Amino acid sequence: MANRSEASGGMETDVRHYDLVVLGAGSGNMLLNDDLAHLRTAVVEPDRFGGTCLNRGCIPTKMLVAAADAATGARAAARLGVTATVEKVDWKAIRERVFDRIDPLHDSAQRYRRRHGVDVYAEEARFVAPKVLQVGSERISADTILVAVGSRPVVPDIAGLDGVPYHTSDTIMRIDEMPASLVIVGGGFIAAEFGHIFGALGSEITIVQRGPRLLTAEDEQVSERFTELTARRHRVLLNAHATAVRGDADGVEVRVVGSEGEQVVRAAMMLVSVGRRPNTDRLDCAAGGLDLDEHGHIRIDAACRTSVPGVWAVGDAANHYQLKHMANAEVRVVRHNMLHPQDVRDLRTTVAPHAVFTDPQVASIGLTEQDARARGIPHLVSVRDYADTAWGWALEDTTSFVKILANPADRTLLGAHIIGPQAATLIQPLIQAMTLGQTADRIAQDVLYIHPAPTEVVEQALLAL
Ligand SMILES: Cc1cc2nc3c(=O)[nH]c(=O)nc-3n(C[C@H](O)[C@H](O)[C@H](O)COP(=O)(O)OP(=O)(O)OC[C@H]3O[C@@H](n4cnc5c(N)ncnc54)[C@H](O)[C@@H]3O)c2cc1C
Ligand SMILES: NC(=O)c1ccc[n+]([C@@H]2O[C@H](COP(=O)([O-])OP(=O)(O)OC[C@H]3O[C@@H](n4cnc5c(N)ncnc54)[C@H](O)[C@@H]3O)[C@@H](O)[C@H]2O)c1
């Protein structure tokens, strides 16, 4: 390993130099493949390989959602003439199914990297100068750096929160016992998914949401339908602020002020899910020469270049989407660009789809109708109920729909929004069409949709445009 010396406060400090340093072994770890194997490389990961998605995000939540869906499906079967009951929820077995599979992966991933000649540092890194990092007691530098340090839950300013054992998405999946009741502060992705998980498995749920609806960033029609359906199962307090919390042996007592006046919500457990913030505040980006935006994200261009040549950034630390498929796409672009400096490419797509794996599922891409109206963008709208299709009949569905917005001039798609079973899958042909610039007419009329598959509702929404 090449060592360089650097003057620091009159002292000479040994600096270990690499070709490539990756900060964060979440999406960052996916950068390293055979094409980069010739480089002297270090990975810095103070926590667990796999990052948020594997250890405390997408993957464990969706494994828990599968259990919740099984319970919901059993309870809902009566409408099809099949009476079933959920006899027992074995939380420990559910939790072990998830984490017995996930937990060994950190050690094996770390060992794999070391076996292939990558140095692994297990402490937090921070910049001390452009392309120079302090990692614990070591100082390292690199020609090329990928910053993929991710994000963490925002902790809201609620009086007394410090003094109670509240959970965030980082901790709640590893609890020992199912809570009899759960109060969730926040009304976004995490509230929706954990409300579904713990609600379906038997907890009584109260959601305290600052906004006027749940999932407020969705198309208003979807957000309204989702709020209405959730309020049938859970207690939903809207336009509500948690102002104070205190704990006792039975759990927590949250004081809530909102449109329904002031009230106290009691619950055995509390989950705080009011958004995530980038981990850049712990990185001393100023010392590293990295520009940040007003939300603390590292400023990158469409090729994922930062303000320092040779330093790239991806994922939750750099983009506002905070979605794993976006981080993965950025990593692929960075790998290409590192290997082909003469052929630097931009991220191919700027429209990021997302899905919320709750009950019912919600999936979306592109413009919402309220955005189109607010921005004065001419648009056509088509809404089709699942109930109008054979598959909707099969499900006895009465609440799910597909909504598509198209450009009246060239009939390309502007946005698509689905609420209902399999929404995350049903939206895929619309993502494809939007990304590839295909018109609504082409994908409606030149493509056959299998009868009577769920996708027929997408076909019908397109044909009605
Ligand atoms: C509960 C939950 C469910 C989610 N579900 C989905 C989903 O279904 N679909 C989806 O697309 N997205 C989902 N997400 C979002 C998704 O997990 C993130 O967008 C994605 O994991 C971000 O990847 P990343 O590599 O940017 O960050 P991370 O995966 O968080 O990786 C960053 C790594 O950097 C390390 N690090 C931090 N600071 C430093 C430092 N100073 N030096 C070195 N290393 C550092 C951290 O320890 C971490 O391991 C979910 C998130 C949560 C919380
Ligand atoms: N399926 C997925 O892709 C998935 C699942 C979970 C998380 N995520 C990612 O994680 C991110 C964070 O999720 P999240 O749910 O924490 O954030 P979010 O941004 O989705 O929602 C936060 C919600 O909390 C509300 N809120 C904010 N401050 C509040 C307060 N003090 N009191 C009450 N309500 C308050 C907001 O109105 C908003 O509705 C998401 O933006 C998403 O990118 C993705």
pLDDT tens track for 170-194 = 999 999 999 999 999 999 999 999 9
All CATH 3.30.390.30 domain ranges in the chain, comma separated: 360-464
Q: What's the pLDDT band for 10 if we cut at 50, 70, 90?
A: very low
Cα–Cα distance list, 188 to 171, 179, 272, 358 (Å): 18, 21, 11, 11
Regarding the beta carbon of 24 and ligand 1, being less than 6 Å apart is answered yes
Which numeric CATH code is attached to 360-464? Answer: 3.30.390.30
Best of 213, 276, 321 for a ligand 2 pocket test (most atoms within 8 Å of beta carbon):
276
All CATH 3.50.50.60 domain ranges in the chain, comma separated: 3-54+97-153+277-339, 161-274
Q: What is the reported pLDDT for 4?
A: 62
ipTM reported for the complex surpasses 0.90: yes
Strands (E), 214-347: 235-237, 241-248, 251-258, 261-267, 269-272, 276-278, 311-313
Structure tokens at 52: 């948020």
Q: What is the per-residue pLDDT across 247-306, written as a single tens digit (0 to 9) for each? A: 999 999 999 998 878 999 999 999 999 999 999 999 999 999 999 999 999 999 999 999
Compute the distance from residue 135 Cα to the ligand 2 centre, in Å.
31
Q: Is the peptide bond before 341 cis (omega within 30 degrees of 0)?
A: no
Closest ligand (CA of 21):
1
The structure's pTM equals: 0.96
Regarding the beta carbon of 186 and ligand 2, being less than 6 Å apart is answered yes
Regarding the beta carbon of 354 and ligand 2, being less than 6 Å apart is answered yes
Compute the distance from residue 320 Cα to the ligand 2 centre, in Å.
12
Regarding the beta carbon of 134 and ligand 1, being less than 6 Å apart is answered no
Best of 139, 169, 284, 324 for a ligand 1 pocket test (most atoms within 8 Å of beta carbon):
324
Choosing among 3.40.50.620, 3.20.20.70, 3.50.50.60, 3.40.50.300, the CATH entry for 161-274 is 3.50.50.60
Q: What is the DSSP letter of 260?
A: T
Closest ligand (CA of 214):
2
- Domain 3-54+97-153+277-339 in CATH 3.50.50.60? The answer is yes
Query: H or E segment at 377?
Result: none
Closest Cα to atom 38 of ligand 1: 149
Q: Where would I find the H helices in 179-256?
A: 189-201, 220-233
- The Cα angle at residue 230 between residues 227 and 235, in degrees rounded to 5: 105
Q: Given the CA of residue 354, which atom of ligand 1 is nearest to it?
A: 11
